[in-house]
Structure 1
Amino acid sequence: MPSNGYPNSTARNSASTDDGSVSRRRLLGTAATAVVTGAGLSAASGSAAAEPDEIMEIDFRDGVPDVTDAPQNEAEVVFKIHGYTSSSASVERAATFRDTARAVGYDGAVTAVTWDDSGLPSSAMQRARDTGDPFAVWLADYTDANPSTTIRLLGHSMGGIVQLETLAAIDGAFTVATADSIGSFAASDAPCGDGAFFDAIRASAGTVHNYYSTNDGVARLGSGPADCGGWFGDGTTPDNYDDVDVSDSVSNHSAYRAETGCVSAIVDNY
């Protein structure tokens, strides 16, 4: 569903450069080419195709994984990013979302994205931020190998930080269809005009949704709509960004992925 001029179907590569400087966008493209050398051939042949409901996992704890660690040649893939202290249960968390999505009629592939969330919250938050760059590199390769696949990101809790940092690292080099969060632990002003991710949301995704619950006592951005009302804020979010209240179905920070009311709202926007 196109929105405000941003494509939301297939992730698209872009070779545009605005000037002669060595931009982050150009560096991303160079790094993406270097990371995986043989994955494109395997993807094109379909040799790593997943079973229809298999939860594959791309694990960034030991570096950038192979492109073939994710489903190949799918119509669309939801990349489910776990939150704090959930790396060991990343596949299980993704499977819960998949099962709920199946119950409300969604049949797209779901893949677990695993990052290093060990240690204290402060150090885990830094690693969530640091995961954005390698995930963006990986996605660039994945979209090259799977040019017809619709890419959707869904980050829970600190996974919402990974989600936004990935958009920042993509930096408009291509777009993903949707980049959503549930119970996001990103800062409450992150999507705002004077926040850290306004430009990244606008440039790197078709649509971005913050599914929030006022019953969530853990989340920051995910406990309510974006807070753009600071002393120096301009009160705006990007045209392709929406806050979605799922409080009626989500009673706590861990309930989003298992509640049909919340997951229905998510897939209705796919």
Structure 2
Amino acid sequence: MTADDCTNSIAETRTESPTVSRRRLLLSTATAVVAGTGLSVRSGPVAADSDQIVELDFRDGRPSVSDAPQGEDEVVFNVHGYTASSESVSAAKRFRNTARQLGYTETVTAVTWDDSGDPETAIASARETGDTFARWLAEYTTECRDTTIRILGHSMGGIVQMETLAGIDGSFTVETADSIGSYAVADGPCKDGPFYDPIRNSAAAVRNYYSTNDGIARLGSGPAACGATSCGDTTPPNYWDVDVSASVSNHVAYKSSRSCVSRILENYD
């Protein structure tokens, strides 16, 4: 059986490590409370690392590493989608606000890229930005060795996310590189796809949070499209497709959905 004959259906049932972090336990408990009662997770203010949304603007070149949050335990780099560069900070803030409601206190940073022009022009820019962001992260991880790096790309930001992993090319490893409603090619994570090796070599874990209600996404409208039958090595062992269709009604609903964001946070060990 060749890789082209295989599908990624195994990714939805693949079990993860039985080790449960204290943060995951708290978030899972809080999410269960919300689901059962409709009450907010928080009973009081969250003591956040930083509520400031720093913007790293790659439209005119590579920003200075000193512009990014310094001395943080963890940073989520939120990458916007097509025609959303003017909303880069507000989009990052939307994810942060939902995450705060669920008890997540780490720092969120906005990554802004040049999404001007028609879709094909923007896709080319997303690819170029991914390579530039990879080189920027190499410098940042050298300066901030104790900071856990997480990437979250929405829509065409999912192309930036994947191209960043390709640019890293195994020279270092980010903790998570996830996408929501990704516009990356649907077979990108597959054995013969363009991002199989980058995913395997450049991140500890990569997840595609998809909604079948999303009429704009490509990879983000379903699991990785690797064929018609089951095969264990279709996608990298550190890749998972996560179905959030029940709580995400359209292409822009991921970050405001508590259920979707809680799924993301549960996987932040």
Establish whether TM, by shorter chain, passes 0.5.
Answer: yes
Query: Residue deviations 1:79-103, cap 9 Å, x none?
Result: 0000000001100000000000001
Distance (Å, rounded) in 1 between the aligned partners of 2:88 and 2:228: 35
The one-letter amino acid paired with 1:170 is I
Contact preservation (8 Å) 2:57, 2:111: yes
Give 3-state SS (helix, strand or coil) of 1:258's partner.
Answer: coil
Identity %: 65
The one-letter amino acid paired with 1:179 is A
Q: Could you say which residue in structure 1 is the equivalent of 2:74?
A: 76
Distance (Å, rounded) in 1 between the aligned partners of 2:244 and 2:64: 35
The residue correspondences of 1:81-96 to structure 2 (distance < 5 A) are 81-96=79-94
Contact preservation (8 Å) 2:79, 2:153: yes
- State the Cα distance separating 1:132 from its structure 2 match: 1.2
Contact preservation (8 Å) 2:49, 2:72: no
Q: Could you say which residue in structure 2 is the equivalent of 1:122?
A: 120
- State the Cα distance separating 1:218 from its structure 2 match: 0.3
Distance (Å, rounded) in 1 between the aligned partners of 2:156 and 2:67: 23
- State the Cα distance separating 1:235 from its structure 2 match: 6.8
5+ unaligned residues in a row in structure 2: which ranges?
A: 1-15, 18-47
The structure showing larger relative contact order (alpha-carbon pairs under 8 Å, at least 6 residues apart) is 2
The residue correspondences of 1:100-115 to structure 2 (distance < 5 A) are 100-115=98-113
Give 3-state SS (helix, strand or coil) of 2:149's partner.
Answer: strand
The list of structure 1 runs, each at least 4 consecutive aligned residues, that deviate by more than 3 angstroms after superposition, is: none
- State the Cα distance separating 1:142 from its structure 2 match: 0.5
Distance (Å, rounded) in 1 between the aligned partners of 2:145 and 2:128: 26
Distance (Å, rounded) in 2 between the aligned partners of 1:234 and 1:207: 17
Aligned pair partner of 1:165 in 160, 163, 167: 163
Aligned pair partner of 2:136 in 114, 138, 150: 138
Alpha carbon RMSD of aligned pairs, Å?
A: 1.8
Distance (Å, rounded) in 2 between the aligned partners of 1:151 and 1:51: 15
Give 3-state SS (helix, strand or coil) of 2:173's partner.
Answer: strand
Contact preservation (8 Å) 1:182, 1:211: yes
Give 3-state SS (helix, strand or coil) of 2:127's partner.
Answer: helix
Aligned pair partner of 2:255 in 244, 254, 257: 257
Number of aligned positions between the proteins = 222
Residues 234 and 188 of structure 1: is their aligned pair in 2 closer, same or farther, counting only changes over 3 Å? farther
Query: Residue deviations 1:205-228, cap 9 Å, x none?
Result: 000000000000000000000010
Q: Could you say which residue in structure 2 is the equivalent of 1:53?
A: 51
The one-letter amino acid paired with 2:112 is T
Scaled by the length of structure 1, what TM-score is found? 0.80
Distance (Å, rounded) in 2 between the aligned partners of 1:249 and 1:67: 36
Contact preservation (8 Å) 2:75, 2:107: yes
Distance (Å, rounded) in 1 between the aligned partners of 2:50 and 2:237: 35
Query: Residue deviations 1:179-202, cap 9 Å, x none?
Result: 000000001100000100000000
Q: Could you say which residue in structure 2 is the equivalent of 1:241?
A: 239
Contact preservation (8 Å) 1:228, 1:234: no
- State the Cα distance separating 1:230 from its structure 2 match: 6.9
Q: Could you say which residue in structure 2 is the equivalent of 1:189?
A: 187
Distance (Å, rounded) in 1 between the aligned partners of 2:174 and 2:204: 6
In terms of mean alpha carbon deviation, does 66-75 or 149-158 score higher?
66-75
Distance (Å, rounded) in 1 between the aligned partners of 2:181 and 2:196: 19
- State the Cα distance separating 1:58 from its structure 2 match: 0.6
Contact preservation (8 Å) 1:194, 1:234: no
Contact preservation (8 Å) 1:228, 1:235: no
Scaled by the length of structure 2, what TM-score is found? 0.80
Distance (Å, rounded) in 2 between the aligned partners of 1:241 and 1:145: 28
Give 3-state SS (helix, strand or coil) of 2:111's partner.
Answer: strand
5+ unaligned residues in a row in structure 1: which ranges?
A: 5-49
Q: Could you say which residue in structure 2 is the equivalent of 1:19?
A: none
Q: Could you say which residue in structure 1 is the equivalent of 2:200?
A: 202
